[in-house]
Amino acid sequence: MSLGLVVAGESHGPALVAIVTGVPAGLVLDKDAIDADLRRRQEGYGRSPHQQLEQDEVEVLAGLRHGRTLGTPLALVVRNRDHRNWLWGMSPWPPEGDPSGKGTKPVTLPRPGHADLPGVLKFGHADVRDSLERASARHTAVHVAAGAVAKALLRELDVDVEGTVLAIGGAVDEDDRRAAIDAARADRDTLGGVVEVLATGCPPGLGSYATKEERLDARLAAALMGIQAVKGVEIGDGFALAGRRGTEAHDEIEPGLRRRTNRAGGLEAGVTNGEPLLVRAAMKPLPTLMRPLDSVNLATGEAAQALVERSDTAAVEALAVVAEAAVAWELARAVREKFGGDSLADLVAAHRAYLGRIAWSRTP
């Protein structure tokens, strides 16, 4: 038994859709909690004012009755409210009437650092929009909705997952971060940053050690690297471990099987060891610049400036929420694999029995 997720949706199309499979029956979902995560993803200093206009909310089309999961596929929808301005430009069917609204002219000025050029080369599109609409991070909204379902499941096992910002554009303190964003915006530039996700309450034994498909460290790295603009992932002390001696790199074991330190970030050999899980992700500066970089007009082959489109100055706070959802999703998958069960009661009972078996390891 595992969780499955398929996501569809273009940035300015009618809606984003997620089909979530493998959620046990009997899990209570709270629409307000899911919408609160969707709102957190849209907030943050440095986002474009447009984010506030969209006000995402989740709709559930299947798999839920009276707030309880049925054990059948969940269909989650987040509408793109801005689609009303793109009815012609993003019409799924051949549009009727004269071109109107946004997206009526083909985009031919690829942005360095975005999917624009590799996307049109790969798929043979004549209009860069045919690539950028799907490559855009807009669909992280419905990933956050799926992550909220995963967090609800994990909470039943007393596992909590939380993403936070560590730095934006190299600035660590909150005031410095804001100043860095203000300065970048004034220069019509963009910033990246670093986020951290902490998961507490994970039982030891999630994941396994033999293959990259089983190793939870590999799966978390893939999940985080699968988020747009993430270019580095670190588990525990990560890159810093490479410069230390072994005596200063590992977490010594005390009676009661407690650890003195948590340099491994709660994972040894791809398996949770019962310590808090700690992962970090590094985000590059956003590629859509109000001061565009050099590019080439794909219609003429001539030098030109890249596309300028509404964009955030920094989306690191949003990344913290998206990364939290991604980590929660991977942890919930590992929980489903280890504890199985068609109903939530089955899963909780299996988890309790397992904690009972290893209870000796937690005695002082």
Ligand X SMILES: Cc1cc2nc3c(=O)[nH]c(=O)nc-3n(C[C@H](O)[C@H](O)[C@H](O)COP(=O)(O)O)c2cc1C
**Does residue 120 touch ligand X according to CB under 6 A?**
no
Q: Can you read off the two tokens belonging to residue 126?
A: 């004549």
319 binds ligand X (CB under 6 A): yes
Does residue 136 bind ligand X (CB under 6 A)? yes
Q: Side-chain half-sphere of 206: how many Cα atoms within 13 Å?
A: 33
Nearest residue to ligand X by CB is: 288
264 vs 275: CA distance, rounded Å = 9
| 20, 109, 115, 334: which one binds ligand X (CB under 6 A) | 115
**With binding defined as CB under 6 A, does residue 314 bind ligand X?**
no
- Residue 135 touches ligand X, criterion: CB under 6 A: yes
Q: Is residue 311 a contact residue for ligand X (CB under 6 A)?
A: yes
Nearer to ligand X, 108 or 140 (CB): 140
* 144: contact with ligand X by CB under 6 A: no
Q: What is the closest distance, in whole angstroms, from the C-beta atom of residue 49 to ligand X in the complex?
A: 12
Per rule CB under 6 A, is residue 315 in the interface with ligand X?
yes
Q: Could you say whether residue 228 binds ligand X (CB under 6 A)?
A: yes
Nearest partner of 183 among 168, 167, 166, judged by Cα? 168
In Å, the largest CA–CA distance within the chain is 76
Is the separation of the CB atoms in 124 and 115 below 8 Å?
Answer: no
- The angle, 0 to 180 degrees and rounded to 10, between the axes of the packed helices 31-42 and 140-155 is 130
Please give the C-alpha separations between residue 151 and each of 169, 183, 255, 356, in angstroms, as whole numbers: 29, 36, 32, 23
The continuous run of DSSP H or E covering 19 comes out as strand 15-21
Does position 5 interact with ligand X (CB under 6 A)? The reply is: no
Nearer to ligand X, 113 or 276 (CB): 113
312 binds ligand X (CB under 6 A): yes
Q: Of 38 and 347, which CB lies nearer to ligand X in the complex structure?
A: 38
Distance CA 299, CA 180 (A): 37
Tokens of 47: 């986002």
* Nearer Cβ to ligand X (60/319): 319
CB closer to ligand X out of 27 and 306: 306
- Report CA-CA distances (Å) from 282 to 192, 210, 239, 304, 323: 8, 27, 12, 30, 11
Q: Which is nearer to ligand X, 132 or 334 (CB)?
A: 132
The binding site for ligand X (CB under 6 A) comprises: 113-115, 135-137, 140, 227-229, 284, 286-288, 311-312, 315, 318-319, 322
